[in-house]
Structure 1
Amino acid sequence: MSDFLNVNEIKEKVSLLTLLGNLGFMPQKVSGNEHFFLSMLREEYTASLCVNEKLGVWFDHGGAGVSGIKSGSVIDFGLAYWYPATFHEVLHKIVEHANVAIDNSRDFKGQVPLRNHTSREASYEINLVSELIAHNGLKSYLLSRGVDKVAAGFLYQIDYMVLDNKNKQRDFSASGWPNENGGWEVRNKYFKGCLGHKGMSYFPGSAYKLAVFEGCYDFLSWKIENRNDPASVLVLNSLSFLSSAIARAKQFACSEIYFDNDKAGIAGAKAFTTEVSGSIDCSFKYDAFKDYNEKIVFSIKSSKIALDKPVSLNLGNGLER
C-alpha cells in the first residue's frame, strides 16, 4: 500500500491555524477572520503574516522568505516553512503536525472507472505507488524521452491492475504524477491516460512567475534546460482545463506558456496572451518541433550521433617524419 496523500483532502481537513498552533506559533492580533502572526518564514518584529481561517489561505505582507512563496493554501505554507523539502515530504509533515486522519487508501483501492484505457467498460485497482522507478521498461521509456535525470520527485512508478468487462485481469506499470483532483496521469511506451478523475497538476515555486505546460513530459524537458528557474509550474494535463489555467495564471505577475506547436496549442497560447497580463508565448524556444520534449529527444539523439561519428585526422601532406 502506498503512502500517497490526497492533496484536496489535506486542504479540506487541515486547519492552518491548528497547524501553526501545533508548531508553537500564536497570533499577535485577531481581526474578524484574520489572524496576524510574526512571520516564521523570515525575521521580523511586526506581525505581518495573515491567516484567513474562513478562506483557508495565508499571505505574508512583509514578503517571501527563502522559498519565494508568500501566500497560498496550507500546502503552500508547508512548502515555504519546510523548504527545501519535497512536495511528498511536506504533505506528510503537514498531516503529522496537524494530527488529522487522512485516508491514504481511497485513491488506490476499489473498482473505479478507468479513463481511455479501452473502448469497453473497465475498472482498475492500483497495487503500488513508488517514488523509485525500478521497472526496466519504464526506465528505458524515460531514457528514450530524455527525462530520466529530472524525473525524481515528479514521476512515480504506478503498478495497477485492469479488469475488463469479461472479468479478465491484466497487470500494467506506468510512470505517473498526481493531479489536483486525486487522480493519476499515467504514461508508458504504449499508453497515455488517467487513473481516476482528470485534473491539473501544480508544483509551487515563485509567487511571481508561473510556467504553464500541456503535459508533464514537456515540463520535465523544460526542467532540463532551466534547472535553477524558481517558477511555479502548472501542467494542464488536458487543454480542456484552459479556462481554469488562465484564471490561475492571473494570480502571477509573469506567466510563460509552453504549449504544443499545433492548432490547439497555438490557439491556447493565443488565448493566454490575450487574457492574462504579463503572459508570454515561449513556443519559439522549440519552434522547429511539435513540443518541448520533441526538441529534447532530438538534441540527445543528435549529440549521440556526433559522439559516435568517427574522427578523421588531418595529417597534412601524409609524409612521415
Structure 2
Amino acid sequence: MSSIHQKKSKNILPYENKKITCETARSLSIMDALAMLGHFPSRERQQDAWFLSPFRTETHASFKVSKQLNRWYDHGIGKGGNIIDLVCAILKISVADALLILAKLKTVNYEIRPPIHTNKNQSSKLKILETKEIQHGALITYLKKRKIPYSLAKQYCKEAHFQFGSKHLFSIGFANISGGWELRNPYFKSCASPKDITLLKNGNNTLIVTEGMFDFLSILTAFPELETSRDFAVLNSLSLINRTWNILENYDTIELYLDRDQAGRKATALYLEKHCNTNCIDKSIIYSGFSDVNDWLVKRKLELK
C-alpha cells in the first residue's frame, strides 16, 4: 500500500537517544509531565491539583498531584509515586524509556493548547512548519485513547507542527493526494490547504471508502487483514464525494464504512444509488448503534491487541 513507512526504533518510543538521571527526572514537574501526555486538571489550587485518572475512565477526579511534594496519588487504586513511576505506569514502559521521554520534557516545554476551531478561510492561513515521525507523548496518549496502535499510526500519519496566527501548535497529520494535511489532536480539528481526498492503493479490485483518518485507522485496527486486501479512499470531508466518482470505476467492489449520522447515511445512499450496477456494499451495519467506526472501536468490550 502506498504510504509513509518509518524505520523501527530500538526503543519503544522514538525519542532522541538522550537520557537523564533518575535524580534529575524526579526534579521535573509532574504537572508538566501530565500535560505532555495529554492530561489536564479538573480543578487546581495553589498546593495541589486533581485530575481524572489517566489509568481508567471516570467522571469524578480522584487523581491528586501535590505540587509541594511533586508526588501523585490515585485514590481509586490506592497507589502513588514519583514522576518516573507515573510515566512508566501510564505508557506501560520501562524506566529507561521513561527517562528518554522525561529528557524530552526537560529540553522542550510545549503542550497541546486549549480548544481551537477553524473554518475554511482560517485553515488557508495555517502554515505547516515541520512533519516528522509521531513522538510527542500527548499525541501517543491521544492515539491510545482512540484505541489506535502507535505502530499502525506511524505508518500512515505524521506529527505535524504548524503556525496558526501567532501560535505554534502540533497534531496528528494525515496527508492527502494534493499535498495538504488533515490535522487532529484532542483540542484541534482542521486542515492545511489544499484540501483533498487521500487515496491508498495496493493493487486490489476492492475499494473501501471512509470519511476520516480515524475511521481508516480504526478499520485497520479491527480488521488488519484488510490492509493488504483492499485499497482505501478517505474522503476527509463528505463535501469531496464527487472527487471519488471516477476512481470508483476502477474497482469491482466498493465497501462503504461511512458515519451513521444523518449526513453519513445520505452519503451512503448516494453511493448506492450511483453505483447500483456495481457491487457496492454498506458495511456500516458492523458498527450499528455507534456513530462511526472509531466510536465502535473505542466503546466495544472486546479488547483489541
Q: TM tier, shorter chain?
A: 0.5 to 0.7
Over 3 Å counting, the alpha-carbon distance change for 1:121 and 1:234 in structure 2 is closer
Equivalence for 1:224: 221
2:169 to 164, 168, 172: 172
Matches of 1:244 and 1:157, distance apart in 2:
27
Distance (whole Å) between structure 1 residues aligned to residue 188 and residue 170 of structure 2: 10
SS of the aligned residue for 1:88 comes to coil
Partner of 1:161: 163
Going from structure 1 to structure 2, the CA distance change for 1:199 and 1:211 (only over 3 Å counts) comes to same
For residues 139-185 of structure 1, the C-alpha deviation after alignment (integer angstroms, 9 at most, x for no partner) is 1111111113421211100011222xxxxx11101001111121101
CA distance in 2, matches of 1:272, 1:88: 29
Deviation of 1:271 after TM superposition, in Å, equals 1.1
Q: Which runs of 5+ in 2 are unaligned?
A: 6-115
Q: After superposition, where does 1:137-148 map in structure 2 within 5 Å?
A: 137-148=138-149
- Partner residue in 2 for 1:184: 181
Give runs of aligned pairs for residues 1-321 of structure 1, distance below 5 A: 87-88=3-4, 117=118, 123-130=125-132, 132-149=133-150, 150-163=152-165, 169-229=166-226, 230-276=229-275, 277-299=278-300, 302=301
Structure 1's 286 and 267: CA in aligned 2 closer, same or farther, altered over 3 A? Answer: same
- Of all paired residues, the percent bearing the same amino acid is 26
Deviations 1:117-141 (A, max 9, x none): 26985733322201x2111111111
Matched residue of 2:4: which SS? Answer: helix
Structure 1 CA distance for aligned equivalents of residues 127 and 184 of structure 2: 16
Instruction: Give yes or no for contact 2:222–2:297 (8 Å, CA) kept in 1.
Output: no
CA–CA distance in 2 between the matches of 1:221 and 1:88? 18
For the 8 Å contact 1:116–1:194, the answer to whether it is kept is no
Distance in 2 of aligned mates of 1:211 and 1:125? 31
CA drift at 1:247: 2.7
Deviations 1:66-96 (A, max 9, x none): xxxxxxxxxxxxx7xxxxxx6336xxxxxxx
* One-letter amino acid of the counterpart of residue 146, structure 1: K
- Measured on the aligned residues, the alpha-carbon RMSD in Å equals 2.3
Bigger Rg, which one: 1
Cα distance change, pair 141–258 in 1 and its aligned pair in 2 (3 A): same
- Once residues 232 and 139 of structure 2 are traced to their aligned partners in structure 1, the CA distance between those partners, rounded to angstroms, is 24
Asked whether the equivalents of residues 4 and 156 of structure 2 are also in contact (C-alpha less than 8 Å), the reply is: no
1:53 alignment partner in structure 2: none
Match of 1:134, SS state, is coil
TM normalised by structure 2 equals 0.57
Q: What displacement does 1:195 show?
A: 0.7
- Name the structure, 1 or 2, with higher relative contact order (CA <8 Å, separation 6+): 2
**TM superposition outliers: structure 1 runs of 4+ over 3 Å:** 118-122
- Give the Å deviation of 1:288: 1.1
Q: Give the TM-score taking structure 1 as reference length.
A: 0.55
Is the Cα–Cα contact under 8 Å of residues 209 and 232 in structure 2 kept in the other structure? yes
Determine the C-alpha separation between the residues in 1 that align with 2:263 and 2:292: 12
Amino acid at match of 1:172: L
C-alpha separation in 2, matches of 1:121 and 1:249: 32
- What's the secondary structure of 1:160's corresponding residue? strand
SS in 2 for 1:129: strand
**Which secondary structure does the structure 2 equivalent of 1:207 belong to?**
coil
DSSP 3-state at the match of 1:227: coil
Q: Secondary structure at the match of 2:183?
A: strand
Unaligned ranges ≥5, structure 1:
1-78, 80-85, 90-114, 164-168, 305-321
Provide the secondary structure at the position in 1 that maps to 2:291.
coil
